[in-house]
Chain A
Amino acid sequence: MRVALFVTCINDTLYPDTGRAVITLLERLGVEVGFPVEQSCCGQPQFNTGYRHLTEPLVHRFDRAFADYDYVITPSGSCAAMVRDNYPRIAARARDEGRAGRELARAAASAVPKTYELTEFLVDVLKVTDVGAYYPHTVTYHPTCHGLRMLGLGDRPRRLLEHVRGLELRELPGAEECCGFGGTFAVKNPAVSAAMGADKARAVRETGAEAVCTVDNSCLMHIGGTLRRQGAAARPVHIAEILAATEADAREDAREPARARATEGSRR
């Protein structure tokens, strides 16, 4: 089983801790993980803003980068959904326009079946829900829209979280409502995006949880940025980082509170 990490451009650039957490977690579960550096971005920002043609080279790049692997694991519900839902569409539209549709269709056909969002891979392929994690904190889980409605992750993330020792899961009111990020929506319609973010941040605060967790750092950037601006204590944390955490990490954090704070700081 050759497994690759598709870290995604936003995690690569802004949230490397999440990428490291996936590696730590999968290696702990006995999976060897490769990182082909040809990878870059799935093309979602361009596609969703109306620049479908600009995403075509990225479909090819994705296919080339992961050609040698059986599984491509990504810590992003929304990037996994981009590959699964939109790569075949991009190929079909290119064919309708009489351009290189066959090559794109081949690239999409090879990318789609092997691409998994992290929690899907854990639950469906590795068939584990107890990953041996320890995270002694109260956490609330926000199911992101693309994870919930496009990928249909269902209760996979919740089942994984429920098996984390020390973790107390707090129910998030209105969990299924969008947080208001929506990619360029956040800057094209800032008033509505901020209103949605404020409501989501309020719901998070009401749970009293120490951390809010999702399968996507892009949503967390918005929710976390809003919480921080409001001076709220709840911090954003990607599910991979919770699942990667162990008793040893907790002991180390206790010995080196300064380092723990620094790690936390980089999450915000």
Chain B
Amino acid sequence: MSGTYLGMPAFPAAAASSTQDARLRGNLRHATHTIRDKRARAVAELDDWARLRAAGAAVKDRTLRHLDHYLEQLEESVTAAGGQVHWAADAAEANALVARLVRETGEREVVKVKSMATQETELNRALAEAGISAYETDLAELIVQLGDDLPSHILVPAIHRNRGEIRDIFREQMARWGRPAPENLSDAPAELAEAARLHLREKFLTAKVGVSGANFMVADTGTLVVVESEGNGRMCLTLPETLISVVGIEKVVPTWQDLEIFLQLLPRSSTAERMNPYTSTWTGTTDGDGPRTFHLVLLDNGRTDTLADTVGRQALRCIRCSACLNVCPVYERAGGHAYGSAYPGPIGAILTPQLRGTASELDASLPYASSLCGACYEVCPVAIDIPEVLVHLRERVVQGGRVTRRGVKTVLKPAKGHAAERAAMRAAGFAFDHPGVLRTGQRLAARTRRLHPRRLPGPGRAWTDTRDLPPVPAESFRDWWRRTRGEERTT
């Protein structure tokens, strides 16, 4: 694994190898089951959870319907409070903007608060190309960065690593990036955390530029909000002279009153806490307190196009809590890297093919990376019907249809490689709509039942490699009915 998503294989191929990795499976099973049980308990404490969830979904939907209005309001309030607002249509624009803003400060180093938006744009890589070093300060992001790895979880990017692996990474890599790991570092969590603390302290105290995302932006006051557990965010948001925040445009909420709903939904869903340890809010700049310069980069990168799709747009409600990952049986076994983007798990399977489109083999395979078991929908704090969107996107892959790309409505062609399936589905559809044909097929199968093998060649192996086939019965139900109950009514 080396830090980029480019050229990754389609989901089934990636998952075919990751499911064989016993250590990864063990790490993920342990971590996801622990957090999923804790979340269930934290949510069960509130008897108005269902109403909070409905309110969260409704606020997001209403805000998204009037997104243009709230974004302009936000720009006005941020500007009035002393911030500068920039608009980025895509990842390249956002990265170029941030690189330019950093360069204008004369600095060559930035400290980063954990941020999904900058993982999405692969900002660190772009900054490195511009000669700027970006230091991740969230513990798990640090582990990922030191290991030249990719994040595999929204909340715990290094969830695929266990303590022993983390100790090895710290021992081998910390020195390259700054303060080395202490001699004789063990894999005790407290020692690992202390090593990270010492390593990071140096960065916090010297960095002049901080880069963050935001969990929410309040339109009417121009306030940005970051919720976190470690306190590294608070350091990056307050110590540097310049703060640059890259935030997806869907993160806006109209008022503080709306924010109140999400500050209840998010911690319980993500870390199973009643309240997260640190909630930082800032409004523009304040003399003598915190960064003197504040830039807000508003990132579109496919979001407006997603908004144009009436079924798919609900994905924009997402508050990145990662509850859907933690309950997903597919994520638990395939691991986050198989999803090939910053957004793994169920939310990634519906968000990535909308933000990036379905042109690549990987992106077209994502809507199928689900058994449609519905566990994600059940836990989602903003009630995103992920199975509904998955099926909708499957339709887009196999049939094509109308989509919006960079603001322009176009008609998508069906993806390649589905011709045989399409023919089979049509044939089945025909048989099901002509029960006479169906019955002939059933009788043929019944007559040849002694010949049916338990293992199939070719594509059928996908089933029979691990599972026996059921034998075909001597007589279908409808033939039995006709034989024993007589009287057939015809179509």
Contact = CB atoms under 8 A, between A and B. Distances in A.
A157 interface: no
A45 B373 CA distance: 14
A145 interface: yes
Interface stretch (B42-50, B156-164, B393-401): B393-401
A225 B467 CA distance: 4
Interface string A29-55: 000000111111101011111111111
B371 A225 contact: no
Contacts of B25: 195
Name the interface size band of chain A. Answer: 35 or more
B334 A192 contact: yes
Contacts of B411: none
B198 interface: no
Interface in B384-425: 388, 391, 393-399, 421-422, 425
Interface in B168-198: none
B278 interface: no
A198 interface: yes
Given A194-B467, A198-B466, A51 B477 contact: no
Nearest to B328: A178
A228 B371 CA distance: 22
Given A222-B467, A228-B468, A41 B399 contact: no
Contacts of B442: 12-13
A125 B25 CA distance: 44
B19 A195 contact: yes
Given A48-B394, A50-B395, A51-B399, A186 B15 contact: no
A229 interface: yes
Contact of B471 (A12, A96, A265): A265
Nearest to A196: B329
Interface in A161-194: 176-178, 180-194
Given A12-B442, A16-B476, A37-B481, A194 B375 contact: no
Contacts of A19: 477, 480-481
A225 B19 contact: no
A225 B399 CA distance: 32
Interface string B438-481: 10001001000000000000010011011111111101111011
A255 to B, nearest CB: 22
Most buried by A among B20, B370, B462, B467: B467
B429 A225 contact: no
Interface in B363-383: 367-375, 377-378
A78 B264 CA distance: 34
B482 interface: yes
B104 interface: no
B468 A192 contact: no
A198 B367 CA distance: 23
B466 A197 contact: yes
Contacts of B433: 40, 57-58, 61
Contacts of A229: 466-468
A20 interface: yes
Contact of A178 (B19, B371, B425, B466): B371
Given A38-B489, A149-B373, A226-B467, A7 B477 contact: yes
A182 B432 CA distance: 20
A246 interface: no
Contacts of A58: 429, 432-433
Nearest to A52: B395
Interface in A9-36: 9, 11-17, 19-20, 35-36
List the 3 closest A-B pairs by CB distance, nearest first: A182-B371, A50-B394, A225-B467
Given A16-B476, A190-B16, A228-B467, 14 more contacts: A12-B442, A14-B470, A37-B478, A38-B435, A46-B429, A52-B391, A58-B433, A149-B377, A177-B329, A185-B370, A198-B466, A225-B468, A225-B470, A228-B468
